[in-house]
C-alpha cells in the first residue's frame, strides 16, 4: 500500500524535478507546435475577413494571446516568487526567474504587434492611453525583475529582492485588464469577457483560443528548459548535478 | 506563530495595503488618466481652456464635409455635439457613426480645431456578411419604429 502513494513533495526538490522536467519538455514542445500550426491555419485560411478592418485584423491571432500570456505569466511568476519568499523553497524562486524572460517577450510582442495594427487603423503607432501605458509598465516590471536579479551576486538575496519587486508589480495586472473599462481609452474594450457573450465571429474566436493554447504550451516548455539550466548552475557543487551532467 | 506563517501574513498584508493605496492614487488621478473628454464634459466646462486636449465620441451621421484639404465633421456623444475642423490625412477606420478621438484646441466660439485625428475601433469583429445582416436588421427595426 505505502509504495503506491506518490510523494508529490519530492518534486519540490531540484534533484528530482530536474529529470521530470526533462521528460516533460519534448511533450510541451510538440503540443506547442501542433496548436501553433492549427491556430495559424484557422487564423489565415478559415477565419473570415473583418467587415471594417479588412485583413489587418488578423494581427489579433498573435496580439491578443500574447497580451493574455504577458499578464498571466506575471501572475504565475509573482506566485512562485511569493511562495519562494514565504516558504523558503529553492525551486519556486528558480521557477520565477525562469518565467520572467518569456513574460517579457510576450509583453514586447503585444506592444509591437499593437503598434503595427495601430498605425493603419487608429492612425498612430502609439498613444499614452491607460491600456497601452500600463502594458508598457508591465514590460518594464519584467525587465526590472530580471535586471535586479542579475545585479545581485548571491542567489538567495537576488531571489528575495526580485520576489518583492514581483509582488509589488502584481497591482499593475488588474489595472491593465480593467483599464479599458475604468477610463476612456483609445484601445477598444474586451471582445471576450466572463460576463457577456464574445463579440466576434466564432471562427475568429477559435483561432485566437488555439493560438493562446499554443503560447501556453510554448511558455511551459521554455520555462522548464530555463529552470533546468538555472538548477544546474545554482546546484553545481552538489553531487546530483555531477551525475545529471554525466 | 511559525516564522513561515509570519512571512505569509506580512506578504498578504503588504499586498492588501498596496492594493488600497493603488486604488486611492488611481481614483485621485482619474481625470488625468482618461485619454479624452466627451462633448458633455466639454459643455460642462471640464475641459482645459487655451490648452491642447483630446475630445472623443462618435462622428455624427451625415456631418462629414470635405473642402479641399480641410475636413469638417461633428463629434457627438448623443447628448452634446462639437464641430471639428481638421486638415490632414484621416485613418482608415474613420467613418460616420464610428468612434473618433481628436486632439486640438477649442476656440471661444465652440469650434474645435484638430491637429490629429485618430479612429477608435469597437470590440466587434465580424465578417462582411454578418455586418450586412446586422445593418439590414437595424434598418428594419428603424422602419418598424416609424
User: Tens digit of pLDDT for each residue in B60-113?
Assistant: 888 888 887 888 999 988 888 899 999 888 888 888 888 899 999 888 888 899
- Quote the CA–CA distance of A218 and A230 in Å, as a whole number: 18
- Quote the CA–CA distance of B113 and B64 in Å, as a whole number: 15
Domains in chain B: boundaries: 1-33, 36-145
Decide if A240 is inside a domain: yes
Q: Which CATH number fits domain B36-145: 3.60.110.10, 3.30.70.3450, 3.40.50.300, 2.40.50.140?
A: 2.40.50.140
Which of B33, B118, B129 shows the shortest C-beta gap to A123? Answer: B118
| ipTM summary value | 0.79
Q: Output the pTM of the full model.
A: 0.87
Q: Count up the domains in chain A and report the number.
A: 1
Domain that holds residue A208: 18-245
CB contact under 8 Å between B123 and A190, yes or no, is yes
- Label residue B144 by pLDDT band (50, 70, 90): low
Instruction: List beta partners, residue B70.
Output: B67, B87
- Residue A96 is placed in which grid cell? 520565477
Decide if A12 is inside a domain: no
What is the reported pLDDT for A1? 41
- Quote the CA–CA distance of A15 and A83 in Å, as a whole number: 19
**Which of A:191-220 have CB within 8 Å of B?**
191, 199-201, 204
**Which of A:29-48 have CB within 8 Å of B?**
48
B19–chain A nearest CA distance, Å? 6
Assign 3-class secondary structure to chain B: CCHHHHHHHHHHHHHHHHHHHHHHHHHHCHHHHCCCECHHHHHCCCCCCCCCEEEEEEECCCCCEEECCEEEEEEECCCCEEEEEEECCCCCCCCCCCEEEEEEEECCCCCEEEEEEEEECCCCECCHHHHHHHHHHHHHHHHHHC
CB contact under 8 Å between B126 and A201, yes or no, is yes
- Residue B27 is placed in which grid cell? 481614483
Decide if A3 is inside a domain: no
CA angle, residues A101, A104, A108, in degrees to nearest 5: 140
- Residue B26 is placed in which grid cell? 488611481
- Label residue A243 by pLDDT band (50, 70, 90): confident
Decide if A1 is inside a domain: no
pLDDT tens by residue, A154-211? 998 999 999 999 999 999 999 999 988 888 888 888 887 766 677 788 888 899 999 9
Amino acid at each position: 500500500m505505502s509504495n503506491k502513494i506518490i510523494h508529490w513533495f519530492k518534486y519540490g526538490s531540484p534533484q528530482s524535478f530536474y529529470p521530470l522536467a526533462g521528460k516533460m519538455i519534448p511533450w510541451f514542445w510538440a503540443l506547442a507546435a501542433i496548436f501553433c500550426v492549427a491556430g495559424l491555419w484557422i487564423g489565415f485560411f478559415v477565419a473570415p475577413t473583418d467587415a471594417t478592418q479588412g485583413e489587418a485584423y488578423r494581427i489579433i491571432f498573435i496580439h491578443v494571446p500574447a497580451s493574455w500570456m504577458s499578464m498571466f505569466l506575471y501572475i504565475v511568476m509573482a506566485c512562485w516568487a511569493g511562495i519562494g519568499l514565504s516558504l523558503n523553497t529553492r525551486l519556486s524562486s528558480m521557477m520565477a526567474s525562469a518565467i520572467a524572460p518569456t513574460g517579457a517577450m510576450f509583453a514586447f510582442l503585444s506592444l509591437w504587434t499593437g503598434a503595427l495594427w495601430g498605425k493603419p487603423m487608429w492612425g498612430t503607432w502609439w498613444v499614452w492611453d491607460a491600456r497601452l501605458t500600463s502594458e508598457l509598465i508591465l514590460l518594464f516590471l519584467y525587465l526590472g525583475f530580471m535586471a535586479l536579479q542579475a545585479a545581485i551576486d548571491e542567489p538567495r538575496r537576488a531571489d528575495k529582492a526580485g520576489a518583492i519587486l514581483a509582488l509589488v508589480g502584481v497591482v499593475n495586472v488588474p489595472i491593465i485588464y480593467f483599464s479599458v473599462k475604468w477610463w476612456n481609452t483609445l484601445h477598444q474594450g474586451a471582445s471576450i469577457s466572463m460576463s457577456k457573450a464574445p463579440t466576434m465571429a466564432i471562427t475568429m474566436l477559435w483561432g485566437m483560443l488555439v493560438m493562446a493554447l499554443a503560447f501556453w504550451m510554448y511558455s511551459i516548455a521554455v520555462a522548464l528548459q530555463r529552470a533546468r539550466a538555472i538548477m544546474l548552475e545554482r546546484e553545481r557543487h552538489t553531487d546530483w548535478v555531477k551525475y545529471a551532467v554525466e | 506563530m511559525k516564522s513561515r506563517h509570519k512571512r505569509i501574513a506580512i506578504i498578504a498584508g503588504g499586498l492588501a495595503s498596496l492594493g488600497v493605496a493603488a486604488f486611492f492614487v488611481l481614483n485621485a488621478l482619474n481625470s488625468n488618466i482618461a485619454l479624452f473628454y466627451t462633448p458633455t464634459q466639454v459643455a460642462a466646462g471640464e475641459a482645459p481652456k487655451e490648452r491642447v486636449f483630446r475630445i472623443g465620441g462618435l462622428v455624427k451621421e451625415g456631418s462629414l464635409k470635405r473642402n479641399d484639404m480641410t475636413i469638417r465633421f461633428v463629434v457627438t456623444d448623443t447628448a452634446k455635439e462639437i464641430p471639428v475642423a481638421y486638415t490632414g490625412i484621416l485613418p482608415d477606420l474613420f467613418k460616420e457613426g464610428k468612434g473618433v478621438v481628436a486632439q486640438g484646441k477649442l476656440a471661444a466660439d465652440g469650434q474645435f480645431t484638430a491637429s490629429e485625428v485618430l479612429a477608435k475601433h469597437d470590440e466587434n469583429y465580424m465578417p462582411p456578411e454578418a455586418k450586412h445582416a446586422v445593418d439590414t436588421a437595424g434598418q428594419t427595426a428603424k422602419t418598424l419604429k416609424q
